[in-house]
């Protein structure tokens, strides 16, 4: 049985009368819409409610599914400790989600895939078993109308939007296998940057995000959820987008009728509520598959225009991943490489190779100063390292290669500077050093808009604590696409 209904809801504590103490009246449209959601859930009479929450346990590279048989929580941190919750988890559904995640990516007819790849999701790493407010606020309103259900609570992650969609697909498959009657509740506020006098201030991306997300979810055109740029989302300071994408994945291939119930931003944070009625199958709504086909076509076209530096990095990585072979300069002779820049063989320099997939970083390794005989060797070495040895990411698999975007930065020699005033985030990269700790950040990166931010990121990468002294160097790069 597929998921029988889905709901996009916010989670502002102030909307609970015990917390708002009258202020909740200022967002009456939101509370009224929430009660409509509760009524619809009661009509569907689910055995299990799946809730994805940005305030549950969250990891950068892992989807956490809450373990155990039961969980409790209260609104004490919002001065309403009398509002208490005691819920029962659907352990069968959780176990099935974990089982599917463990075997994810295994092709039954492919001998090479006998080693199970797996999907980064499961019940490991429980830091706080208590319910979070992103889970409790939906439960507060649902319990007014309906009480006989179990829940599954799932955290978001720092992984890409397509991977959140895939997590939703795994949830849907687990629901189908167990045969449980389930609804999905995607908990998440919209932009936190809607008003100058709001608690988080204003950014122009705030209203833009809210208008766009309400249009997308209000129409049920879930493929467009994957086209939201990560930097844009960060500047809008939203918290629910990944939750909504996971919900979309849980509805993959199903006919959906969307209804926008409300949108408000009274307190400077966007609150949006939509409902999604689920019908039968709809082969036109396999959105991730269609999105990946579109991206693959775009990347194939882009590859034709890649300059020799990037072409060399890609060839080096692909040769290593597919054949286990490290190419050398003698492998890049002939007509195919006739446009290779002579500087690549005549000059030594540090290089960085950056790899992105689905709009998110997938690997980045480089050398500040040259470690090989020439730039070409430096690129070949660092391309393989970026794809296989970046400690932040698993090794790139062969089936990922068509979806990778790559760039190469060739560094000038760093020079010491006396003050941050000598930096420019668009022109200069920065190196921050304290003793043997050294952190680098390249210039002109999406989402890095100030010198302070640039230095802070480089400092954190080096493991230099706030308040420790450090020296600064700057460098310029030539970036190749």
Nearest CA among 250, 194, 201, 204 for reference residue 225: 250
402 and 475 in one domain?
A: yes
Beta strands in 368-414 (DSSP E): 404-411
For residue 59, give the 3-state DSSP assignment: strand
Looking at every residue in the chain, the average pLDDT score rounds to 95
- When divided into structural domains, the chain yields a total of 2
pLDDT average, residue stretch 347-375: 95
Of 266, 290, 314, the one marking the end of a domain is: 290
Does pLDDT of 357 surpass 70? yes
> What pLDDT does 113 receive?
34
User: pLDDT over 70 for what percent of the chain?
Assistant: 97
> What pLDDT does 238 receive?
98
152 and 62 in one domain?
A: yes
191 and 167 in one domain?
A: yes
132 and 214 in one domain?
A: yes
> What pLDDT does 128 receive?
87
Reported as a single tens digit per residue, the pLDDT across 28-85 is 999 999 999 999 999 999 999 999 999 999 999 999 999 999 999 999 999 999 999 9
Does pLDDT of 378 surpass 90? yes
Domain at 341, CATH number: 3.30.700.20
446 and 329 in one domain?
A: yes
Q: Regarding beta strands 429-434 and 437-441, do their DSSP bridges make them parallel or antiparallel, or are they unpaired?
A: antiparallel
Of 255, 290, 325, the one marking the end of a domain is: 290
Predicted confidence band of residue 333 (pLDDT cuts 50, 70, 90):
confident
Of 290, 317, 335, the one marking the end of a domain is: 290
Reported as a single tens digit per residue, the pLDDT across 235-258 is 999 999 999 999 999 999 999 999
Reported as a single tens digit per residue, the pLDDT across 215-238 is 999 999 999 999 999 999 999 999
Domain at 41, CATH number: 3.40.830.10
pLDDT average, residue stretch 82-94: 98
> What pLDDT does 98 receive?
97
Bigger pLDDT: 359 or 101? 101
CA pair distance 190, 372, nearest whole angstrom: 49
Q: What is the residue range of 416's domain?
A: 296-480
∠ CA(164), CA(407), CA(357), 5° rounding? Answer: 10
pLDDT average, residue stretch 112-138: 83
Q: Regarding beta strands 471-475 and 429-434, do their DSSP bridges make them parallel or antiparallel, or are they unpaired?
A: antiparallel
Tokens encoding 461:
């990468």
121 and 45 in one domain?
A: yes
> What pLDDT does 379 receive?
98
Are the beta carbons of 386 and 321 closer than 8 angstroms? no
Judging by beta carbons within 10 Å of its beta carbon (0-12, 13-18, 19+), is residue 93 exposed, middle or buried? buried
CA pair distance 74, 58, nearest whole angstrom: 20
317 and 267 in one domain?
A: no
Does pLDDT of 117 surpass 80? no
Does pLDDT of 261 surpass 50? yes
CA pair distance 341, 224, nearest whole angstrom: 40
pLDDT average, residue stretch 266-274: 98
467 and 368 in one domain?
A: yes
Backbone φ and ψ of 370, nearest 5°: -65, 140
349 and 282 in one domain?
A: no
Does pLDDT of 109 surpass 50? no
211 and 352 in one domain?
A: no
Does pLDDT of 291 surpass 50? yes
Tokens encoding 464:
């230099």
Sheet holding 182-187, edge to edge: 150-155, 48-53, 182-187, 5-9, 271-281, 254-264
284 and 301 in one domain?
A: no
221 and 329 in one domain?
A: no
In the beta sheet, which residues pair with residue 478?
A: 410
**Which DSSP string do the residues of 28-58 spell out, in sequence order?**
HHHHHHHHHHHHHHHHH--SEEEEEETTSS-
**Which DSSP string do the residues of 83-109 spell out, in sequence order?**
EEEEEEB-HHHHHHHHHHHHTTT--TT
> What pLDDT does 443 receive?
97
> What pLDDT does 420 receive?
97
Are the beta carbons of 383 and 316 closer than 8 angstroms? yes
Does pLDDT of 110 surpass 60? no
Predicted confidence band of residue 112 (pLDDT cuts 50, 70, 90):
very low
Are the beta carbons of 351 and 419 closer than 8 angstroms? no
The pTM assigned to this predicted structure is 0.88
Are the beta carbons of 140 and 341 closer than 8 angstroms? no
Tokens encoding 376:
């070409």
Does pLDDT of 115 surpass 70? no
Tokens encoding 50:
């799946």
Predicted confidence band of residue 442 (pLDDT cuts 50, 70, 90):
very high
């Amino acid at each position: 049985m597929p998921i029988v209904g889905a709901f996009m809801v916010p989670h502002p504590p102030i909307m609970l009368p015990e917390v708002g103490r009258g202020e909740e009246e200022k967002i009456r449209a939101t509370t009224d819409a929430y009660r409509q959601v509760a009524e619809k859930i009661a009509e569907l009479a689910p055995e299990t409610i799946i809730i994805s929450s940005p305030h549950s346990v969250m990891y950068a590279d892992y989807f956490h599914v809450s373990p155990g048989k039961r969980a409790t929580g209260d609104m004490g941190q919002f001065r309403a400790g009398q509002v208490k919750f005691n819920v029962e988890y659907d352990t069968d559904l959780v176990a099935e989600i974990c089982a599917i995640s463990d075997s994810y990516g295994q092709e039954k007819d492919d001998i090479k895939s006998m080693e199970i790849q797996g999907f980064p999701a499961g019940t490991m790493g429980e830091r706080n078993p208590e319910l979070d407010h992103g889970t409790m606020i939906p439960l507060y309103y649902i319990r007014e109308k309906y009480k006989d259900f179990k829940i599954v609570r799932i955290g978001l992650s720092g992984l890409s939007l397509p991977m959140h969609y895939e997590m939703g697909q795994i949830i849907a498959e687990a629901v189908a296998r167990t045969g449980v009657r389930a609804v999905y509740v995607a908990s998440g506020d919209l932009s936190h940057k809607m008003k100058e006098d709001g608690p988080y201030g204003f950014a122009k991306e705030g209203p833009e995000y809210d208008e766009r997300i309400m249009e997308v979810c209000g129409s049920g055109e879930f493929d467009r959820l994957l086209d939201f740029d990560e930097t844009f989302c960060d500047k809008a300071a939203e918290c629910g987008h990944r939750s909504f994408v996971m919900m979309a994945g849980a509805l993959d291939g199903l006919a959906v009728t969307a209804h926008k119930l409300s949108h408000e931003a009274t307190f400077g944070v966007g609150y949006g509520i939509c409902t999604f009625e689920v019908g039968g199958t709809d082969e036109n709504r396999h959105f991730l598959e269609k999105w990946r086909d579109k991206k693959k076509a775009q990347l194939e076209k882009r590859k034709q225009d890649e300059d020799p530096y990037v072409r060399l990095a890609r060839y080096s990585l692909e040769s290593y991943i597919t054949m286990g072979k490290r190419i050398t300069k003698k492998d890049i002779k002939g007509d195919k490489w006739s446009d290779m820049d002579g500087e690549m063989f005549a000059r030594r320099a540090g290089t960085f190779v950056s790899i992105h997939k689905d709009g998110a970083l997938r690997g980045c390794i480089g050398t500040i100063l040259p470690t090989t005989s020439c730039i070409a060797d430096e690129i070949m070495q660092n391309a393989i390292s970026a794809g296989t040895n970046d400690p932040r990411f698993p090794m790139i698999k062969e089936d990922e290669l068509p979806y990778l975007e790559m760039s190469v930065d060739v560094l000038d020699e760093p020079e010491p500077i006396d003050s941050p005033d000598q930096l420019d985030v668009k022109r200069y990269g920065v190196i921050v050093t304290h003793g043997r700790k050294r952190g680098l950040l390249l210039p002109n990166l999406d989402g890095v808009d100030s010198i302070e931010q640039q230095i802070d990121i480089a400092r954190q990468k080096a493991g230099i604590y706030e308040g420790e002294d450090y020296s600064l160097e700057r460098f310029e790069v030539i970036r190749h696409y």
